[in-house]
Amino acid sequence: MRRMFLPTSRDQALAMDVADDLAGFREEFSLPDGIVYLDGNSLGPLPTRTLTRVQEVVAREWGEDLIRSWTANGWMDLPATVGRAIAPLIGARPDEVVVADSTSVNLFKLLAAVLRMRPGRRTILSERENFPTDLYMAQGLVDLLGAGAELRLVNRSELSGALDEGVAVLALTHVDFRTGECHDMAALTAAAHRVGALVLWDLSHSAGALPVDLNGCAADLGVGCGYKFLNGGPGAPAYAFVAGRLQAELQSPLWGWLGHAEPFAFSDRYVPAPGIACLLCGTPPILSLTALACGVEMVGRAGLERIRRKSLALGGLFIGLVERECGEYGYDLASPRDEARRGAQVSFRHPEGGAIMGALDRAGVVGDFRPPDLLRFGFSPLFLRFVDVWDAVATLRRVSEERFSRHR
Amino acid sequence: MRRMFLPTSRDQALAMDVADDLAGFREEFSLPDGIVYLDGNSLGPLPTRTLTRVQEVVAREWGEDLIRSWTANGWMDLPATVGRAIAPLIGARPDEVVVADSTSVNLFKLLAAVLRMRPGRRTILSERENFPTDLYMAQGLVDLLGAGAELRLVNRSELSGALDEGVAVLALTHVDFRTGECHDMAALTAAAHRVGALVLWDLSHSAGALPVDLNGCAADLGVGCGYKFLNGGPGAPAYAFVAGRLQAELQSPLWGWLGHAEPFAFSDRYVPAPGIACLLCGTPPILSLTALACGVEMVGRAGLERIRRKSLALGGLFIGLVERECGEYGYDLASPRDEARRGAQVSFRHPEGGAIMGALDRAGVVGDFRPPDLLRFGFSPLFLRFVDVWDAVATLRRVSEERFSRHR
């Protein structure tokens, strides 16, 4: 493992920012004063340009151009346009990604589709620790289809062993929302393919934070949300990926008019659009989609290699400083120390985690607590500085000192 | 039928505006100059307050308050909050409506749910002329469930006769998108109930344009979009209605985390939220939902009785003036003359409708054309003036004169 430089003064952390080739991106965000925001993995902050652009879409495109905007201002194509912009961030071809609905709804579409593409196989395989909505959507589908399907949940370490000829699809979240641990996408995809199963990757905690190479891993299907590392705004629409080789046989169960081959023919019989567009359903929320477009553009411009490098550096710095400065307070690293297996968040366990996170929050360090004991910190590198990590750990140390000396 | 006053001069039309108690609402919209916008039934125009409010949500709630906004600024409750505001517009109780997803997705949820509530019945009954996405979503569900369901389509006049003990649900759009004709919601609901079927009303072309009384009609289920007469913005989220008496037995097939009884418990087993909240699914698009809230508020404040009265007057004026001024050009009224059966749009058929609508558009009168021959004009009364109707018909006359003299 690479040995990390650990600054011993705030000035040294500031010097790291001076040397940071992504530092300029911070100016493209509107951030509140006095806050270290380590929750970009839950809701990315506001790109300043988004405010201008949303205003423009509301005032000019909606207000002035009205209904014409569906064609004249490209609203109709926006799900495909933004999908094309997301594609290179996840290792997909431009015609393999579309923006539609929510991650949950896209999961339903793809899971239902895959059960039909693998007749005779009834199992959706996942892990118990998968993101809850991923499990729920699969449970709902199984419940709807009755004898047609089952959801089998195993522990993470048992996944490879659980792959058998009955598995239609292995459905996993690439980066674990609790620990930030990455699955080995290439290895698990290959393992699933060896038994003839397809693989569906939820990239909600990956896209925009680290390079994802869906096609390089020969992945089949993918979904993800727009409001975390893509900085697309609260409840930003989600996206879906279908490998080109599968598009001809994939059929969404949600036959909305925008997924029709000719939406404006208003025929009474559904004919799915060719390609990825068949995953479109109802009319997309243009204002939210506009904000997503801005966030995606910025990530594309910054480049994922640089983003990944800085994010790992920020996370590694955080781990190193917490262990050096707060070692005596019992914070237990829940994330992989190995960079190759760690996403863009770092989690620590602490029995008093809820109270500690509350105190951090009051002191201006915003992270996120998951009961019973998990403190999560996101390292979204387009707006975070190395000095922010320094300050966050200094705050954690002060908060810990106060709490544990008070308790003595 | 009430006899309508038909002005014989533009000044008389202006005088009608002076007497209009809704006239003040026009100032609350941002409308482009030089346009008569008769397409509010496709995309309602921009309420000025929406621009301010969206800006505030982006800049302050997202930009400043960040993740805290989910609780501190009520984002989490927004689907229920806006649902409660829509409820009185459609004759529902506040706990019977929620905003979620798109109309299409909500149709899927409710149709799937109702097939399970009426086991032994496999038919979704609808009319051939129903809005395409309504038919498509039902076709997709039937296709997914296989032997479990069928979609039977009949002509409008055959609906009552087609109701039998095999029908699980009668699914109709209240106001026809082509002709503006209203179904008799009370009579059809009662007829469906007599054979033990439930009724699902799509209110996309009704809500915000005329009073709808779901509970007064003992209706069971409803859906509708936010971007037409509710002026909620392009692709505004949709809403769903479930009568209180059915909520305990209704189960959505889309088990997203926001429909969970305890979304933040992050348990691995889905337990649906009690009541209407079980129809929530993924994270809602807050920017688009914010715009919808503004549009709904305005409709509520104006009051549907006044809205309906003015909308009928505008539509009636249009019919009367077209027939008087353009009688020789062969426009054939496709909408009911009877006000009780007419929604807030007026359609005419004309064999050269496409070219005529193009000419109208170039002359600043925005309507909508549906092949092969339908010209549709929406009479959304919060921003339209009687003089706009006068001007639109004067333009139609000029356009018709030019076209048909040129052709002679």
Write the pLDDT tens digit of every residue in B110-160: 999 999 999 899 999 999 999 999 999 999 999 999 887 999 999 999 999
Contact B136 A101 (CB under 8 A): no
ipTM over 0.85: yes
Assign residue B293 a region: left if phi > 0, alpha if psi is -120 to 50, beta otherwise? alpha
Q: What are B344-374's pLDDT values in tens digits? A: 999 999 999 999 999 999 999 999 999 999 9
Which pLDDT does position A3 carry in this prediction?
A: 65
Annotation marks residue A227 as catalytic: yes
Q: Do A254 and B283 touch (CB under 8 A)?
A: no
Average pLDDT over residues B333-343: 97
**Annotation marks residue A202 as catalytic:** yes
Alpha carbon of A287 to those of A332, B224, B235, B288: distances in Å?
Answer: 42, 19, 8, 5
pLDDT at B405: 80
Buried b (16+ CB within 10 A) or exposed e, B212-233: bebbebbbbbbbbbbbbbbbbb
> Residue B146's closest chain A neighbor by CA?
A145
- Tokens encoding A82: 């933004």
Is A131 one of the catalytic residues? Answer: yes
pTM over 0.95: yes
Taking only the tens place, the pLDDT of each residue in A358-407 is 999 999 999 999 999 999 999 999 999 999 999 999 999 999 999 998 55
Task: Determine the Cα angle at B172 with ends B168 and B176, to 5°.
Answer: 170
- Is residue A408 scored above 80 in pLDDT? no
Our CA-based measurement puts residue B391 at a distance from the nearest CA of chain A, in whole angstroms, of 19
Per-residue pLDDT at B2 exceeds 80: no
For the stretch B197-233, pLDDT in tens is: 999 999 999 999 999 999 999 999 999 999 999 999 9
| pLDDT value, residue A405 | 80
Average pLDDT value for residue range B56-75 = 98
- Contact, B118 vs B302, CB < 8 A? no
- Residues in A closer than 8 angstroms to B62, CB to CB, are 43, 45-46, 233-234
The structural domains of chain B, ordered by start, are 10-47+303-406 (3.90.1150.10), 76-302 (3.40.640.10)
Whether residue B283 and residue A235 make contact (CB cut-off 8 A), yes or no, is yes
| Catalytic sites of B, residue numbers | 131, 202, 227-228, 376
Which chain A residue's Cα is nearest to B128? A268
Q: Do A63 and B103 touch (CB under 8 A)?
A: no
Helical ranges in B303-352 per DSSP H: 304-325
A332 alpha-carbon distance from chain centroid: 25
CA distance A209 to A92: 16
Q: Which chain B residue's Cα is nearest to A56? A: B51
**Residue A228: predicted pLDDT:** 98
- Which has the higher per-residue pLDDT, B125 or B265? B125
Residue-level pLDDT at A147: 80
**% of chain B exceeding 70 in pLDDT:** 99
**Quick one: which of A382, A373, A395, A385 has its CA closest to A321?**
A395
Strand B365-366 to B167-173 pairing? unpaired
| Chain A closest-CA separation from residue B129 CA (Å) | 8
pLDDT at position A250 over 80: yes
Judge: A135–B268 Cβ closer than 8 Å, yes or no. Answer: yes
Indicate the DSSP class of residue A120. T
